[in-house]
Amino acid sequence: MTKEQTPTTPETAGPRPRRLTYAAVLTALEGLGLAVGGVWVLVLGLAGDPDDRQQAVTLGVTLIVLALLPLLAARGLFAQRSWSRGPSVITQILALPVAYSLLQADSIAIPAGIAIAGAAIATLVLLINQETTQALGIRGPGNAPDQR
């Protein structure tokens, strides 16, 4: 493992910046939202009368499994692990098309689209912030130590 990939340990980590904490909280909330949505769809699929029970159960299980990515990323961000920024950024990028499609609906889904878009953009800004990057021990291009 190279020095850039070595995760930060609690002994060597400095205090967690507030921006990193906010990004971790927003990422965790997105993961919890996915998990709750997945459980809700799964329960409705099993207990209710859906048009296609198999499709409802599959969607519910898929949402619950997808919730693992942001939840694990949030845990890593709280622990200041450098690997955790990637999964969190991926989650935010995937949330943007979902928000866009919700914003195109003529229904009560519009406020959900606004909330998802706001959270995704805010989290992306927090994750690419220089203070967050330094706290996670991520070096930018051209800042790697000379390996001769």
Surface-to-core class of residue 25, CB atoms within 10 Å of its CB (0-12 exposed, 13-18 middle, 19+ buried) = middle
* pLDDT at residue 139, as a whole number: 80
Average pLDDT over residues 88-102: 94
**Structure confidence by residue, pLDDT tens digits, 67-82:** 999 999 999 999 999 9
Question: CB of 126 within 8 A of CB of 26?
Answer: yes
- What is the number of other CB atoms lying within 10 angstroms of the CB of residue 77? 30
pTM more than 0.95: no
Average pLDDT, the chain: 87
Instruction: Name the residue with tokens 């930060």.
Output: 8
Structure tokens belonging to residue 34 = 């996915």
* pLDDT at residue 10, as a whole number: 45
* pLDDT at residue 35, as a whole number: 96
Cα within 13 Å of Cα(100), Cβ side: 7
Q: What is the rounded CA–CA span in Å between residue 78 and residue 25?
A: 8
Confidence of residue 5 (pLDDT cuts 50, 70, 90): low
Q: Which residues contact 79 (CB under 8 A, 6 or more apart)?
A: 8, 10
Least reliable range by pLDDT among 6-10, 64-68, 114-118, 124-128 = 6-10
